[in-house]
Structure 1
Amino acid sequence: MTETTETDAKTEQARPDHEVVIVGAGFAGIGAGIALKGAGIHDFVLLERAGDIGGTWRDNTYPGLSVDIPSPTYSFAFEPRPTWSRLYAKGPEIKDYADHCVRKYGIMPHVRLGTTVVAARFDEGADLWRLELAGGGTVTGRYLLSCQGALTTPSHPEIDGLADFAGHTVHTARWDHDHDLTGRRVAVIGTGATALQVIPEIAGRVAHLDVYQRTPIWVYPKIDPRLPRGVQELFRRVPATQKATRFVTTTAVEIIVTGVVHHRRVQPLVKAVERRCLRHLKRQVKDPETRERLTPRYGFGCKRPSFSNDYWRTFNRANVDLVTDRIDRITETGVRTVDGREREIDTLILATGFKVFDISFPIVGREGVELTAFWKQYRRQSYEGAAVPGFPNLFLVPGPYGNIGLSWFQMIDAQIRHALRVIGEARSRGVTRAEVSRQAHDRYMSWVERRMPRTVFLNGDCATANSYYFDEHGDAPWQRPSSVVAARRRSRSFPLDDYDYSTRVSAG
């Protein structure tokens, strides 16, 4: 019998269950899995708390749901879909695309559904992450990719009396299809991108609709043609035509991003876009007083703009009221505003968005430092939007100042490439730990600080926007202050020596 030595025991302890653990099975997690397989890394697991894949496109099923980025751009570049039914695909088509990608690239065998991570801790003695699961159990991985997404945890408004309402309450991210809105008196709280889709869809069915607006939204006309079979067949037979379409739609989106991140330099462009939106508003809304209340008083891009040909004109309907007085409280039977008026309703719809900066479980790095607490004390920060000093072998998809453009897929491409380059370098060096250096991190954050004054966030009168782009510190860590092209180029070229590589114990 071979005697087990102390070194053997340490080696066994340092051997993780998987080389890579991915948390979240939305498009970011799916994209990470596909990229890992493409890089020859097959030892990974994808942990998903829900019973299906798809992230926000699994959870959101509200009426009118569609993508607000042209479908050719809102997809993986390596997996174009020639059969989109229209330029802006409906939600079920996007979910079907996620299912298709999982099937085609063989990701499902790596997925563990119904698996909720409650904590992740870096084991400094073994150079691996230990993930604690709800109900007991642990999964370990050399590397941890946090792909939890931003539009997954619903945000409920802090309004007095919300729990006292005796009628039916529903959040748009958890839509109740068994509750028929036909003939009901309904209130919608919120006028962001989700409400912009829901409100026109339900207005014709309800007896009366009150829309409670805190902040107006910039709305650009929506060019959303159906893509007939002939076009789909052309895309299928001549892939170059679909690539050309993607190039055009991506360029159009990039123009909007340019107005956001280079606002100070391209103000004439931004003003032209605002004028186009205001002309659209004037054509769509008949009543001058209503138009005035629907007019944004902040710069285009301070909060996510959207595209619609139906939202604004919904306020011409006799059964729709725009309410801009501040809500005092929710009562058992309705909504009372600060002017003392109570509007009776039987259904309350919360179109109040998501907790975009929340991480759903504590992530504890070296020396017991927890990531959210670190950000709370020192403000949100990360190197290239992907890594944080003190948190080895952890990659955020995305982290602060890591999102690029308006299409989630552009971010996925850049951030996962970043992670794979570092993992590949660590593997080639035969080490078990990769941690971004404090010097490289601080250099990147200094660059961010120099760039932010050029963006709309510090030049567009954003204080009144009530935008999820801003956090509790007043910072705008959602968006990387650079173009998509520059960010993607950087993901291919950042110095790998910006990371420190080491091994604590033999990994076997």
Structure 2
Amino acid sequence: MTPLIIPAGTSPDDQASKRLGGPIHAERHVNIICIGAGPSGLLMAYKIQRHFRNYSLTVFEKNSGVGGTWFEQRYPGDDGRSVACDVPAHNYTWSFEPNPDFSAVYASGKEIYDYFNSFAAKYHLNEYIRGQHQVIGACWNNETAGYDVKIRDLRGGQEFSQHCDILINASGLLNNWKWPAIPGLDSYEGTLLHTSDWDENIDLTGKHVGLIGNGSTGVQILPQLQPIAKHVTTFIREPTWVSPVQGFEQHSFSDEERREFARKPQVLTEYRKGIERGLSGQFGIFLKDTKPNKDAHEYIAGQMREKLRNERLETQLIPKWAVGCRRFTPGVGYLESLGKDNVTVVVGEINQITGKGCLCDNGCEYPVDILICATGFDTTFKPRFHVIGPDGTNLQDQWKEEAQSYLGMAAAGFPNYLIFLGPNSPVGNGPLLSAIEAQADYMLQLIDRYQTRNIRSFAPTREAVSDFIVYKDNFMEKSVWADPCRSWYKNGRDGPVTGVWPGSTLHYIEAISEVRLEDWDVKYSGNRFAWLGNGYGQTELDRTADWGYYIREADDDSPATTGGRRMLLSKSGTVKNTGGMSLLGKQPEESIKVAKANL
């Protein structure tokens, strides 16, 4: 007897009858489309390839290369990729795939791009990827219980459709850049640029450059502009917290340090663990009126004053609202750049863009040769294309006013549709890539159930989503994210917090470690127990397996409780001195020494 594998093209209605002829958990063919070959899409391709058989996978990517935002972002600098990672680079890697060769704590965007590009090459992920292909729509097909996905080939403009059983949106959030909503933008007669659509042919040497914005992009680009341009006028609408609050100042790793990481992987692992513990230990910062929040406020304000060394700028640029209300930005060299002789800081609103430059609310016009907009992205969470569910609803319309997801990964009324970093994912709560890994593992559980049972469709119930939103909104009242600051966490307005998870990253990882089927509307093809098959187990079909594997000399079962499994997984009792803000102010050299000592 050989294992039953249900082939591609088998209709949902035929699956139940075919399963009855084979053993339990027969693996149906599952056809998956993933949108985007950024970090999330690459990870999903890796995990599907590693864990599944009898599948088809196509990753549609609008760019000509992989890496998502790290492929797209080209800021001014000597290599055109001077955008930097805003968390310690050694922890902007997959948990299982370290990189000992990063040049600095906050590595350049080119190095981050190279990491993900090398990851795709190492694991042969490019065979799944179709570059310069943009998904422009997806519609649920009730007959096939899947999505008809419409794609445009950007090389020639042709459009075609492809069907899938499961649709995964890994297109990301920070990829749909926008111009500022300032009157007169079209009337500007100089060179107009957006940081996310950078023209590498533009020479800034000897030019008077205007820079709009002091978000994550603005604070990274100013230190690159200042040494090149004749003069920079930076327009800041409101203050923001700028400090390497992840725990480290910038530090370039020596050749010896990099060799040490390469020769002794356990030293790098312990160093990464120390950073991760520090990142995870800072969650108290985001809770109102807590000691960590007050300590962070005092520490970061002190750091900003020390770097600004200008009483006027300190008054204008150090926020009155709570630390953490907007996403932290290390801003390596940014505050120091504001005090340079060739930099003018203008704080306030820009009322109008004129032919010459910017007319501000102080009544002054500031002429510039080149105007650079570091004004971010559309962060509404609405899909960039129409997604039509079984009842004809477009998810773009459903999420027009407020994006309401199930645990950041799915939407009520849209079966077999999964999302990376959807609404209320932990994008500002601690380590990000760890959360992406947890989301991928959750999706694998759903795909496995879909493949080994005669499931037709799965979607979170509206009741589950509604209850989650109520919990989330109640929690946010206790957090700094609800404070009156302008933040993309709230879609730039004073509304519900849709950008972050109601808890820490570790809290999120525990929350989604297991699928809660009680929250899902699962529909079956035929009898829901058809997956039980013909009475044979899969083990009996494997002649190399031990058919008496459950006979033992002692009870070595894994823990049967949630708490027991967590303690085993987290190695409870093995780590000393795990503490809240233990990394604040600590230098990388010191942390490497700590890593060696712990070994």
TM-score (norm 1): 0.92
Query: Which one-letter code corresponds to 1:503 in the other structure?
Result: Y
From 385, 396, 400, the equivalent of 1:376 is 400
In structure 2, what residue type is equivalent to 1:22?
C
Of 250-259 and 345-354, the range deviating more from structure 2: 250-259
Are residues 1:146 and 2:146 paired?
no
Q: Which has the larger radius of gyration?
A: 2
The answer to whether the aligner puts 1:110 opposite 2:128 as a matched pair is: yes
Q: 1:341 to 1:505 in 2, by over 3 A?
A: farther
CA distance, structure 2, for counterparts of residue 178 and residue 9 of structure 1:
50
1:483 aligns with 2:504: yes
Structure 1 partner of 2:44? 32
- Indicate the SS of the match to 1:328: strand
- State the secondary structure of the residue aligned to 1:376: coil
How many residue pairs match? The answer is: 492
Other-structure match for 2:555: none
Is 1:218 the equivalent of 2:231? no
Contact 1:17 1:140 in 2 (8 A): no
Larger CA deviation: 425-434 vs 49-58: 425-434
**1:27/1:388 CA distance change after superposition, 3 Å:** same
Deviation of 1:309 after TM superposition, in Å, equals: 4.5
Question: What is the CA-CA distance between 1:117 and the residue it aligns to?
Answer: 0.9
Question: 1:107 is matched by which residue type in structure 2?
Answer: L
2:487 aligned partner:
467
Of residues 397-406 and 15-24 in structure 1, the stretch that sits farther from structure 2 once superposed is 15-24
Is 1:428 the counterpart of 2:440? The answer is no
Counterpart of 1:244 in structure 2 is 270
Unaligned runs of 5+ in 2: 1-7, 16-27, 77-81, 153-157, 528-599
More displaced, 156-165 or 492-501? 492-501
In 1, distance between residues paired with 2:460 and 2:334? 46
* Greater shift in the superposed pair: 43-52 or 330-339: 330-339
1:495 and 2:516 aligned: yes
Report the equivalent of 1:445.
Answer: 469
Conservation of the 8 A alpha-carbon contact between 2:388 and 2:395: yes
Deviates more, 1:40-49 or 1:155-164: 40-49
Please give the alpha-carbon distance, in whole angstroms, between the structure 1 residues aligned to 2:447 and 2:416: 8
Q: Classify the secondary structure of the residue corresponding to 1:212.
A: strand
Partner SS, residue 486 of structure 1: helix
**2:409 aligns with one of 386, 389, 398:** 386
TM-score, length-scaled by structure 2: 0.78
Partner of 2:72: 59
CA distance in 1, matches of 2:292, 2:279: 14
> What is aligned with 2:349?
326
- In 2, Cα distance between the equivalents of 1:412 and 1:484? 10
Q: Give me the whole-angstrom Cα distance separating, in 1, the residues matched to 2:443 and 2:311.
A: 52
Displacement of 1:365 in angstroms is 1.1
More divergent stretch after superposition (470-479 vs 159-168):
470-479
Contact 1:36 1:420 in 2 (8 A): yes
CA 473–115 in structure 1, closer or farther in 2 if over 3 Å, else same: farther
Q: d(CA) in 1 for partners of 2:14 and 2:126?
A: 27
Give runs of aligned pairs for residues 159-178 of structure 1, distance below 5 A. 159-178=182-201
Tell me which amino acid in the other structure corresponds to 1:466. Answer: R
| Equivalent-residue separation in structure 1 for 2:33 and 2:388 (angstroms) | 15
Shift of 1:440: 2.8
The 2-side partners of 1:422 and 1:103 are apart by 27
The offset of 1:505, in angstroms, is 8.0
Q: What is residue 79 of structure 1 aligned with on the other side?
A: 97
Q: Contact between 1:14 and 1:128, CA under 8 Å: does it hold in 2?
A: no
1:68 aligns with 2:86: yes
1:486 is aligned with what amino acid? Answer: H
- Structure 1 173/18 Cα, relative in aligned 2: closer, same or farther at 3 Å? farther
C-alpha distance in 1, partners of 2:475/2:9? 50
Q: Which residue does 1:129 correspond to in 2?
A: 147
Offset of residue 445 of structure 1: 2.6
The 2-side partners of 1:9 and 1:100 are apart by 34
Q: In the alignment, is residue 282 of structure 1 matched against residue 305 of structure 2?
A: yes
Match for residue 304 of structure 1 among 327, 344, 351: 327
Q: Answer with 466-475 or 184-193: which moved more.
A: 466-475
Pair 96,175 (structure 1): closer, same or farther in 2 beyond 3 Å: same
Question: Which residue of structure 2 aligns with residue 234 of structure 1?
Answer: 260
Q: Does structure 1 residue 45 correspond to structure 2 residue 58?
A: yes
Residues 284 and 292, structure 2, Cα contact 8 Å, conserved in 1:
no
* Cα distance in structure 2, aligned partners of 1:141 and 1:83: 39
Name the SS of the counterpart of 2:148 in structure 1.
strand
State the Cα deviation string for residues 341-390 of structure 1 (Å, max 9, x = none): 2111110000111112242101111201111211225x321111111121
Q: What is residue 441 of structure 2 aligned with on the other side? A: 417
Deviates more, 1:303-312 or 1:112-121: 303-312
Once the two structures are TM-superposed, the CA of residue 17 in structure 1 deviates from its matched residue by 10
Instruction: Identify which range, 192-201 or 304-313, moves more after superposition.
Output: 304-313
SS in 1 for 2:399: helix
Summarize the Cα distance change of 1:444–1:311 in structure 2 as closer, same or farther, 3 Å threshold.
same
Query: Structure 2: which amino acid aligns with 1:373?
Result: D
Deviation string 1:122-180 (CA, Å, 9 cap, x unpaired) is 11221111111123210111001101111111121111111111111111111211111
SS of 2:239's partner is coil
What is the CA distance between 1:34 and its match in structure 2?
Answer: 0.8
Partners of 1:170 and 1:251 in 2: how far apart?
Answer: 39
Corresponding residue SS for 1:469: helix
Is residue 126–residue 504 contact of structure 1 (8 Å, CA) maintained in 2? no
Contact kept? 1:69, 1:406, Cα under 8 Å: no
Contact 2:46 2:125 in 1 (8 A): yes
Equivalent pair of 1:386/1:418 in contact (CA under 8 Å): no
Matched residue, 1:3: none
Preserved CA contact (<8 Å) 2:431 2:505: no
> Percent of aligned pairs with the same residue?
25
Instruction: Provide the rounded CA distance (Å) in 2 between the counterparts of 1:253 and 1:173.
Output: 28
CA deviations 1:295-349 (Å, max 9, x no partner) are 1121111111111342112122222111113211111111111333211111000
Alpha-carbon distance in structure 2 between the residues aligned to 1:318 and 1:230: 37
The runs of 5 or more residues in structure 1 that have no matched partner are 1-7
Structure 2 residue 117 is the aligned partner of structure 1 residue 99 = yes
The offset of 1:243, in angstroms, is 1.6
Structure 1 pair 282/122, CA: closer, same or farther in 2 (3 Å)? same
User: Is the CA contact (8 Å cut-off) linking 2:473 and 2:496 kept in structure 1?
Assistant: no
Asked if residue 254 in structure 1 is aligned to residue 280 in structure 2, the reply is yes
Which residue of 2 is the match for residue 400 of structure 1? 423
- Extract structure 1 runs of 4+ deviating beyond 6 A: 12-18
In 1: Cα distance, 2:208 partner to 2:199 partner:
16
Match of 1:4? Answer: none
CA distance in 1: counterparts of 2:525 and 2:384, whole angstroms: 29
Deviation of 1:403 after TM superposition, in Å, equals: 2.8
> Per-residue deviation at 1:181?
0.6
Q: How far did residue 501 of structure 1 move?
A: 2.5
Q: CA deviation at 1:473?
A: 6.9
CA contact (8 A) 2:89 2:105 kept: yes
- Counterpart Cα distance in 2 of 1:470 and 1:173: 22
1:5 aligns with none
- Structure 1 window deviating more from structure 2 (270-279 vs 110-119): it is 270-279
* Amino acid in the other structure paired with 2:498: P
Task: Pick from 210, 224, 231 the counterpart of residue 187 of structure 1.
Answer: 210
Alpha-carbon offset, residue 12 of structure 1: 9.4
| Paired residue secondary structure (1:466) | coil
Q: Distance in 2 between matches of 1:9 and 1:274?
A: 59
Per-residue deviation at 1:245?
Answer: 1.3
Equivalent of 2:179, from 156, 161, 165? 156
Q: 8 Å contact 2:207–2:370 — kept in the other structure? A: yes
Deviation readout 1:85-140 (Å, 9 max, x if unpaired): 11111111001001111011111000011111111111122111111112321011
CA distance in 2, matches of 1:294, 1:473: 21
Give the distance between the partners of 1:314 and 1:140, measured in 2 at CA: 52
> Which letter does structure 2 place at the counterpart of 1:194?
T
Change (3 A) 1:175 1:256: farther
Is this contact kept in 2: 1:185–1:207, CA < 8 A?
yes
